[in-house]
Amino acid sequence: MGVVRKTTGVAITFEPKAIIRPVPAFFCYIVECADGTYYTGWTTDPARRLRQHVAGRGARYTRAHRPMRLVFVEPQPDRASAMRRELALKAMPRSRKQALIAKAPPYPEASS
């Protein structure tokens, strides 16, 4: 891309710098707890959030029910969508959550 200065008539060539902004990623997740119950939430980093739950620094529910493993992760386009999907997942009956978990591919860092 070039620009010609009107005063001197000299062409100046420059390449504009690309502005690269990190795309925030949002996820809904379901954790299976030691007693077989499910905890649903949203996060920007499912593996980190699972570590927080396991360490007792997550939600009050998982402090009492000790999370075992990440069984479902679903990417969302933005935070508002993630929050709406979390509410929808929480409202689902257990049987429907189990069907959703059965169909979902395993999350690569689920063994963390």
Gap between the Cα atoms of 70 and 110, Å rounded: 5
Task: Give yes or no for residue 8 having a pLDDT over 80.
Answer: no
Stretch 3-30: mean pLDDT, rounded? 70
The label of the residue with tokens 């954790």 reads: 31
Gap between the Cα atoms of 98 and 4, Å rounded: 64
pTM: 0.75
Task: Give yes or no for residue 82 having a pLDDT over 90.
Answer: yes
pLDDT category of residue 67 using cuts at 50, 70 and 90: confident
Q: What are the structural domains, with CATH classification, of the chain?
A: 24-103 (3.40.1440.10)
pLDDT at residue number 112 = 45
Gap between the Cα atoms of 88 and 90, Å rounded: 5
pLDDT at residue number 110 = 52
Question: CA nearest 37: which of 73, 72, 61?
Answer: 61
Give the distance between the most distant pair of CA atoms in the chain: 78
What's the mean pLDDT when you consider all of the chain?
86
More confident residue, 11 or 45: 45
Task: Give yes or no for residue 109 having a pLDDT over 80.
Answer: no
pLDDT tens-digit profile of 36-59? 999 999 999 999 999 999 999 989
